[in-house]
Each structure stands twice: as C-alpha cells, then as structure tokens.
Amino acid sequence: MNATLRPLLVLLMLLLLLALLPAARAQQAAAPQLPPADFVAPALPKPEESNAERGKTQPGNNAPFWRAVRESGNSEGFTTLPGVEKGVLIQPFVQYPGSRLTTAGEAWREVRNRWILPYGGALLLIVVGAIALFYWRKGVLGGHVPDTGRRVERFTPFERSAHWANAIAFVILGVSGVVMAFGKFFLLPVIGGTLFGWLTYALKTAHNFAGPVFAVSLIVVFLTFVRDNLPRKGDMQWLARFGGLLGEREVPSHRFNAAEKLLFWGGVFVLGAIVVASGLVLDKLIPGLEYTRGDMQLAHIVHALATILMLTAFIGHIYIGTIGMKGAYGAMRTGYVDEAWAQEHHEWWYDDIKAGKIPAQRSRTGENAPQAATQT
C-alpha cells in the first residue's frame, strides 16, 4: 500500500473505533421497549384509523396519534422515557407572551418550521448562488506565476490524514443533515414517501455515527493547525485589501492567510465547538444530563443554527479548496505545491522556506514527493 495512505487509514480506523463504541451503546440503549402486559392505551378519538391511513402514505409517521393525545388533554400514559419525564406523553401546555396556548413541543416545531428552515435554507441558497456567480465572473483564482517544477511540502501525511478524516465526516454530516432538514421540500415530492422514509432513516443513522468521528477529528485538526493560525503582523493588512484576491497580485501572507485564520477560529473553533457540543447532547453521549424534551429542543435549535452557519462557511472553503483556486486541492491531496504556488499565495511562508527558517520537507521522508507534474 502507498506509504502516504497508510497513516490516513490507521487514523480513520482509530477515529471510527472511538466513535462507534459510544454510539453503538447509545443505539442499544435506545432500542424500543414494549409496554407492560396490563397497559391500556388511553381512549383517543380514532387514533388507529387515522394513524394507519397516514402510515400508508408516510411510513413511520404517527402524527395523528399525538395530535389526538394533545386534543384529549390527557398528557399522562405509558412511555419508555426514563428519568423525570417518565409517564408524560406530551409536554405541558404553555402560553408565551403574544402567542396562543400551545405545548412547548409545538412552539419548538414552529421555531424550526417558520424560522430556522426558511431563513437557514435561504442563506444556504444565497451562499451557493453567490459562489456560482463569483466563479462565473472571476473563474479560477491563481496561476499568475509560471510553475518552476520545484516542490515544497505544504502538508505532512499526518496533517492530511487529520484533515481528510474530518472533511469526509463533515460531508456525510452535511448531506445527511440537509436531507433531514430540507429533504421534504426537494426530495419527498420526487422520490415519494416510502423511499424518502427509508432514506432519511438511513441518513439519520449515518449522521449519528459520523458525528463522533467529526468531533474527534475536529480536535485533532484544531491542535494540528492552531500554531500557524495564530494572528500575526500583516493579517489586518491582508483583510483590509481582501487579500488582493480579486486583483492580479495577492497580498503576502505567512503559511495561512487572514481569511483562513478567520475560518479557523470562527468556523473550526467557535462553531465547531457549538456544533459538536449540541450534537453530543442530541446523540445522548454526555453523561449526567437529564435529556428532557426541553433539553433536546434547545440543543436542536442551537445545533441547527450553528450547523447552518458552519455549512455556509465551509461551502466557501470547499469551493476554494477544489475548483476555486488552481493548485489548492493538489496541496491537500499530495501534500506538495510548486514553489510558484507558494510564492503567489503565501509569499512570506515561501520567503521563510527560501531563507531556511522553515524546512521545505517537513515529514520524515520525501519518498512520496511527486516530481514536477501539472497541479490539479
């Protein structure tokens, strides 16, 4: 096996193992229990019929049953919920200032459906549209300095392993999250209720397992890249001129420029911590919490808001890291860049390499250094 791939594989397997153990335990704990033999379901207005009808078009959807529970005003019954909410079928009725009498669950649902989904969805579409417009008008950035054929190492195999473990988990989480949140608007009408039901169930399970992998790899990414993302002289100048990215010549920067540093501190550190913490609550992986419905609703709202912001930030990162900038993807795929790339995009980093302050080859062997080849 290619020696570059070996550490990546080992890291991925380690992360997977770390992630699977608690998640598997949580899944086991959440296995459905049957009600006791003497349990008598509350008399509700025709719940079976309406549930059965709904089940034909949307398998697994038992909304009519819960509507009937709410309308009956009877919130007590048999539940498999442990803890303080044992035996409580639905949350108590509340009246928020300026709103009608409702349950906290219904209020959460309205926040989700009326605020988070429409505004969050619009933000995501606007960002994708803005990037498409930028690509159409400006095309691929970089490529102004001709390649020299001499290579310097930009990312060691360890750095790339950490990055790709995190990026793969992020993509799984992003795709499954978007389908769970918005799929009913763009997928359900196309593939129908049955397939959509199974797909979202599969994606929800994938989301639960990829979450812990993302959490662990995010910490590794943070520790790996924090040093070169500390603020340095010149960052403000870079920001003030937007790096010169729109012009012919980029503003000089060290190994990472000010935009990368902003993404690192805002996206990886702040949003990453919020997304991971709220996600671990939703996965019930933080010991000592009650996990009441109220806790879960709050965690869900925080998680949804932070993930939408994180998605918008990283859609930009993924764009620049793939089709948006010549040579960027090659840096993270092979670990190496042409000296011309280093000089054009990170001039002070290149100067330090030329001056011998930073080694051009940081990992132990250079055996995998690609010889002069066209950068992707």
Closest CA to 145 of 306, 303, 347, 366: 347
Which CB atom, from 304 or from 320, has the smaller least distance to ligand HEM? 320
The region of 30-38, 72-80, 181-189, 327-335 touching ligand HEM under the rule CB under 6 A is: 327-335
User: DSSP secondary-structure letter at 153?
Assistant: E
SS3 content of the chain, % helix, strand, coil (to 5): 65, 5, 30
Draw the binding track, 192-231, toward ligand HEM (x: CB under 6 A; -: no contact). --------------------------x--x---x---x--
Instruction: Single out the residue of 19, 328, 342, 360 in contact with ligand HEM (rule: CB under 6 A).
Output: 328
Q: 266: which 2 tokens? A: 């805002």
Half-sphere exposure of 86 (CA within 13 A, CB side): 5
Which CB atom, from 166 or from 297, has the smaller least distance to ligand HEM? 166
* Three-state DSSP state, 146: coil
Instruction: Single out the residue of 170, 196, 209, 238 in contact with ligand HEM (rule: CB under 6 A).
Output: 170
Draw the binding track, 140-169, toward ligand HEM (x: CB under 6 A; -: no contact). --------------x--------x--xx--
Which CB atom, from 270 or from 302, has the smaller least distance to ligand HEM? 270
CB pairs under 8 A, 24+ apart, for 328-332? 328/142, 329/376, 330/375, 330/376, 331/154, 331/155, 332/155, 332/160, 332/163, 332/164
Q: How far is the CB of 236 from ligand HEM (least distance, A)?
A: 17
22 makes contact with ligand HEM (CB under 6 A)? no
Closest CA to 162 of 335, 29, 35: 335
Q: Which residue is nearest to ligand HEM (CB)?
A: 321
173 makes contact with ligand HEM (CB under 6 A)? no
Closest CA to 225 of 162, 167, 316: 162
Give 21: exposed, middle or buried? Use CB within 10 Å, 0-12, 13-18, 19+.
exposed
Residues that bind ligand HEM (CB under 6 A): 154, 163, 166-167, 170-171, 218, 221, 225, 229, 256, 260, 263-264, 268, 272, 314, 317-318, 321-322, 328-329, 331-332
